[in-house]
Amino acid sequence: MPEMTYAAAVRSAMEWEMAKDPRVFIMGEDIGVYGGAFGVTMGMVDRFGKTRVRDTPIAEEGIVGAGIGAALVGMRPIVELQFSDFIMNAMDQVVNQAAKIHFMFGGRMSVSLVLRGPAGAGTGAAAQHSQSLEAWFHHVPGLKVVMPAFPDDARGLLLAAIRDPNPVLFYEHKLLYKVKGDVTESDAAQPLGQGMIRRYGRHATVVTYSLMVHRVLDAALQLAKNGWDVEVIDLRSLVPMDIPLIVDSVKRTGRLAICHEAVGRGGIGGEIAARILESEAFDFLEAPLLRITGLNTPVPYSPPLEAAFMPSVDRIAQSLETWLTREVVQS
């Protein structure tokens, strides 16, 4: 298992599938010689040529529309959005076309399309280049949404996304691109919809994904010094979502907290909370739920304000400790 960065793991998955399957190709803005805004596709044009690593104009609606058309005639396109925020320029293509064509044609058509994009804040890219919009697409039937936190998951889940017959949004957090980890270089894909317990604990279940997995794990280490033992679940994919894993964990711990970088209002945390309240885990809850999220504001450009917007390790640890101290004493 070689060690590689998250960005290299994403590139490894694309190169693997392109070498194996001539239907797979990638297109996007500046992905050829330049290697993409974050260097993820660096060197791919030299290996596969300009036909399969296609630089495009700055026109997201056209790029995504071309990807949908290619998928409909049997290709397996990967569309890179230079920043995931730019998907807003292609909302009609994503929501009204990619997500619905399979159903509107009675299952006879398939849109095997992967939309990749760097998401999240923390790089000083300001309000229009730093958003976490995954809840929008979680709401749309027909789309799958994947947000891996570790290099090995990034590779394995991207293999699964490319092979999936459905449109998949694959969000890569900008602050994860340089994170290193052991990566399995094989043909085995990781199935979509399976979360993972990253840390076992007894006092509470904390559900999270993407960059926040790392911060919650660091916060859990801080809490452990004060005697608190929390279980950390990495969802890995939001659609499909591994609700049974959360239910089983909450039945053991009796408490549920949810952490994500996206703003709290209308976020994934509310959906997870509702699903647990509708499940058998409800009878095992010993305390009200807790959400730790980004603030309800556009992402600021100012570095101190941007840092305040995002859930930090300290804010996560303090929120969890305050909540646990209050609720454990009461129960």
Q: Kindly state whether residues 20 and 114 are assigned to the same domain.
A: yes
- How sure is the predictor about 328, in pLDDT bands with cuts at 50, 70 and 90? confident
Same domain, 169 and 266: no
151-191 residue pLDDT tens: 999 999 999 999 999 999 999 999 999 999 999 999 999 99
Residues 172 and 227 in one domain: no
Asked about 173 being catalytic, the answer comes back as no
The mean per-residue pLDDT over the stretch 210-235 comes to 98
**Across all residues in the chain, what is the average pLDDT?**
97
Instruction: Give the model's confidence band at 135: pLDDT under 50 very low, under 70 low, under 90 confident, else very high.
Output: very high
The band of 327, judged by pLDDT with boundaries at 50, 70 and 90, is confident
Co-location of 87 and 216 in the same domain: no
Mean pLDDT of 139-146: 98
pLDDT of res. 1: 80
Residue 191 located in a structural domain = no
Residue 189 located in a structural domain: no
Domain around 46: 3-182
129 belongs to the catalytic site: yes
Confidence band for 331, pLDDT divided at 50, 70 and 90: low
SS (H, E, C) the chain: CCEEEHHHHHHHHHHHHHHHCCCEEEEECCCCCCCCCCCCCCCHHHHHCCCCEEECCCCHHHHHHHHHHHHHCCCEEEEECCCHHHHHHHHHHHHHHHCCHHHHCCCCCCCCCEEEEEECCCCCCCCCCCCCCHHHHHCCCCCEEECCCCHHHHHHHHHHHHHCCCCEEEEEEHHHCCCEEECCCCCCCCCCCCCEEEECCCCEEEEECCHHHHHHHHHHHHHHHCCCCEEEEECCEEECCCHHHHHHHHHHHCCEEEEEEEECCCCHHHHHHHHHHCCHHHHHCCCCCEEEEECCCCCCCCHHHHHHHCCCHHHHHHHHHHHHHHHHHHC
Among residues 17, 29, 80, 129, which one is catalytic?
129
Work out how many domains the chain is built from and give that number.
2
The contacts of residue 283 (CB under 8 Å, 6+ apart) are none
209 shares its domain with 162: no
188 domain residue, yes or no: no
Is 282 within a domain?
Answer: yes
Tell me the C-alpha distance between 11 and 265, whole Å. 34
End position of a domain, from candidates 125, 156, 182: 182
* pLDDT value at residue 329: 61
| pLDDT tens profile 238-269 | 999 999 999 999 999 999 999 999 999 999 99
Q: Is residue 41 part of a domain?
A: yes
> Given 153, 182, 211, which residue is the final one in a domain?
182
Question: Same domain for 129 and 154?
Answer: yes
Whether 60 maps to a domain, the answer reads yes
Task: Give the CATH number of the domain where residue 61 resides.
Answer: 3.40.50.970
pLDDT over threshold 60, residue 225: yes
- pLDDT(127) > 90: yes
* CATH number of 318's domain: 3.40.50.920
The verdict on residue 187 lying in a domain is no
The confidence band for 283, taking pLDDT boundaries of 50, 70 and 90, is very high
Of 182, 208, 229, which residue sits at a domain end? 182
Considering the domain boundaries, does residue 296 fall inside one?
yes
In this structure, the answer to whether residues 97 and 177 fall within a common structural domain is yes
Please check whether residues 177 and 297 belong to one and the same domain. Answer: no
> Does 108 share its domain with 174?
yes
* The one catalytic residue among 60, 80, 231, 306: 60
Same structural domain, 143 and 41: yes
174 and 204 both lie in a single domain: no
Q: What is the pLDDT of residue 25?
A: 98
**Same domain flag for 275 and 303:** yes
Closest by CA to 68, choosing from 29, 113, 109, 28, is 113
pLDDT tens per residue across span 27-76: 999 999 999 999 999 999 999 999 999 999 999 999 999 999 999 999 99
